[in-house]
Structure 1
Amino acid sequence: MSGKKNASNQDTELSELVSKHINNLDDKGKLQLPDDMPDWQKHVVRAEKRQRDAQSELGRTQAQLRESKAVTDVLMATASTMVPDDFQLSDDELTALDKLKTTDPDKYRLEVNALEAKAKEAQKEKLAELTTKAATAATDAHTTKNRVTVLAEFRDANPDLVITDDVLVNDVPPRFLKGVQDGEYDYATYLSMVKDYVGTGKKAPEGNEGDPHNIHKMNGSQTPGKKAAGRQGQGDYAKMTF
């Protein structure tokens, strides 16, 4: 019984700790914590702040997704009805088409119908191309932002472990990064593997140096692929959901 009471007291103390400090933000929205606060307490408050920010961001993202889908549906439907007046034909082609109106009305109507169908399809293809590019850019930006958050959380959880771009480039085998790019595992798992590898004091095999590891330039999905199923147990940090 005393064990449950102690656990309850600890939960209450942590809740009070978070409530006291979580809204201490500077004018840029950055969390400000006392210099003399123990590192483990800072980690608790920062983790809770990121969790709340993530939930808020998820809500906004879901709303934006619904709005974006509605807008895309309207645009695609509109594109199928929008036809340039000149069908994007040359002056000579327009003159020849105009003559058919009086010389052969039936053929004229067939020609116009074909041109309208072709123009509508071209409009839809162009719109699809633009929306795909926009979606890809948005996904890349989100992935980069997510990895920055994951890296910050990792550094908070491992204050004694220094992970710099130089370490990632020169001390870590490129195959670790390739796993992220191929979708075998996510970025949190990658950092856990880096931690385990760097902690052994090993160096990357000769000939693998110099590969880019900057998270802003990394390809690959933040969501692991099918091959990741058996790899998610690599380190406690890798099991965290972001």
Structure 2
Amino acid sequence: MFAALTAGLALSGGAALAAGDVANGEKIALQGDGVGAPCIACHGPDGAGVDEAGFPRLPGLPADYIAKQIRDYKSGARNNPVMQANLSSLSEAQIVDVAAYYAGLPVPAMPGKPAPAEAMALGEKLATQGDWSRHLPACESCHGPGSAGVDANFPGIAGQHATYIRQQLEAWRQGARANDPLDVMSAVAERLTEAEIDAVAAYLAAQPVQSAQGGAK
């Protein structure tokens, strides 16, 4: 079932964004737009984010994906009052510019935090093999080899902060997030236990960020 969904989403992903004005995107990210706080206030000057706070890394994510998340925060399709307030005044052109800026930044070094070997082994199994006896596909089934990402529907999750991954899986499991195509992630997350969520988050965070074409960044 998930293979068919993945194929269908790959075909329906839509056209790529226009290139965007990277210089204007940088200005908004560093200084804000005069209404909302600048992106660096939470995501830092290099876009690395903060693990403890659940602020995700932005460089290394596709521009189309970043733009979609900004639109969803702005519209309320993705629930986060702080993000909605800070992004509410951005125009479509500004959204594209900010997305282009962050997508073009070098990926900062973000070593994952150590986790017990048993948890890492469980996380690796879930990420690379899944558990088909429970209709639970591997992360790589959609996010690609090495969880490097495929397109705007399935972003790279290797090397993302563990706290952010954990929070998002919990949000999908509890129905608090539902802005992914065909609600695939909710169907996956509701099959995971809390221990499995912790394990897969720790494993993915410890992996090198991969380019979709292969190879660590």
Higher relative contact order (Cα pairs below 8 Å, separated by 6+ residues): 2
TM-score between both structures, scaled by the size of structure 1: 0.21
Q: Rg larger in 1 or in 2?
A: 1
**Normalization by structure 2: what TM-score?**
0.23
Bigger helix fraction: 1
